[in-house]
């Protein structure tokens, strides 16, 4: 079965023949593994290649893949959004367990006190919107160095508070401060790595 070749500029496929360039535009044809027909014949460079999309740099039809480092800023953003979703899940759980509250109301004329049931649905919805907006704003601000420095300082205060609660709380309620401490330590480590490790310049 003849091997298929592709023109990275016209983005058309054809069977491998005697031609090494596209009959429409003259761009060197490539194989399915990314090598040009000439490279495959000569067994030249072994650097991985991928075809450029149509209209993308016609003078350079091949785009080399370079390894990019870990983007700790993006990880910090995902961490922030993930924490926000965790808080949202907690609010949803509270709205299910506490959908309404009973409020005593005293009539000033008669002095009689009645119990009224107040639905908390609208209140939970408003709080949820504000919480989501709050964490999305934090995730957007994470791209700025000064914001990450401030967030690291706030995170340090939360770590100190969690340690103090663990030191004085005993067994009761100790799981929540411990979970908070683990999350804060992980977030602080991600922020520190965003200072130490530079962001990848390009992913071309």
pLDDT in tens, the chain (204 residues): 456 777 777 767 777 676 778 777 778 877 776 677 777 776 654 444 444 444 443 433 343 333 445 788 889 999 888 888 888 888 888 888 888 888 888 878 887 888 888 888 788 888 888 988 999 999 999 989 999 999 999 999 988 888 887 777 654 456 777 888 888 899 999 999 888 876 665 443
Could you tell me which residues come within 8 angstroms of residue 196 by beta carbon, excluding any fewer than 6 positions away?
none
Cα–Cα distance measured from residue 13 to residue 190, given in angstroms and rounded to the nearest whole number: 45
Domain range list for the chain: 4-64, 72-196
| pTM for this model (two decimals) | 0.53
> Is the CB of residue 199 less than 8 Å from the CB of residue 71?
yes
CA atoms lying within 13 Å on the CB side of residue 154: 8
């Amino acid at each position: 079965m003849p091997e298929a070749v592709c023109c990275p500029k016209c983005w058309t496929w054809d069977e491998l023949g005697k031609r090494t360039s596209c009959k429409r535009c003259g761009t060197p044809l490539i194989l399915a593994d990314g090598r040009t027909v000439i490279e495959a014949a000569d067994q030249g460079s072994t650097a991985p290649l991928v075809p450029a999309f149509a209209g993308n740099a016609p003078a350079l039809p091949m785009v080399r893949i370079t390894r990019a480092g870990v983007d700790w800023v993006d990880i910090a953003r995902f961490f922030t959004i993930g924490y926000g979703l965790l808080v949202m899940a907690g609010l949803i759980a509270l709205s299910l367990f506490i959908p309404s509250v009973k409020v005593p109301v005293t009539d000033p004329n008669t002095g009689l006190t009645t119990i009224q049931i107040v639905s908390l649905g609208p209140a939970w919805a408003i709080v949820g919107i504000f919480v989501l907006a709050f964490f999305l704003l934090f995730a957007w601000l994470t791209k700025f160095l000064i914001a990450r420095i401030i967030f690291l300082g706030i995170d340090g205060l939360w770590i100190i508070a969690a340690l103090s609660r663990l030191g004085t709380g005993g067994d009761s309620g100790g799981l929540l401060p411990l979970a908070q401490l683990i999350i804060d330590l992980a977030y602080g480590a991600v922020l520190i790595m965003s200072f130490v490790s530079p962001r990848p310049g390009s992913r071309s």
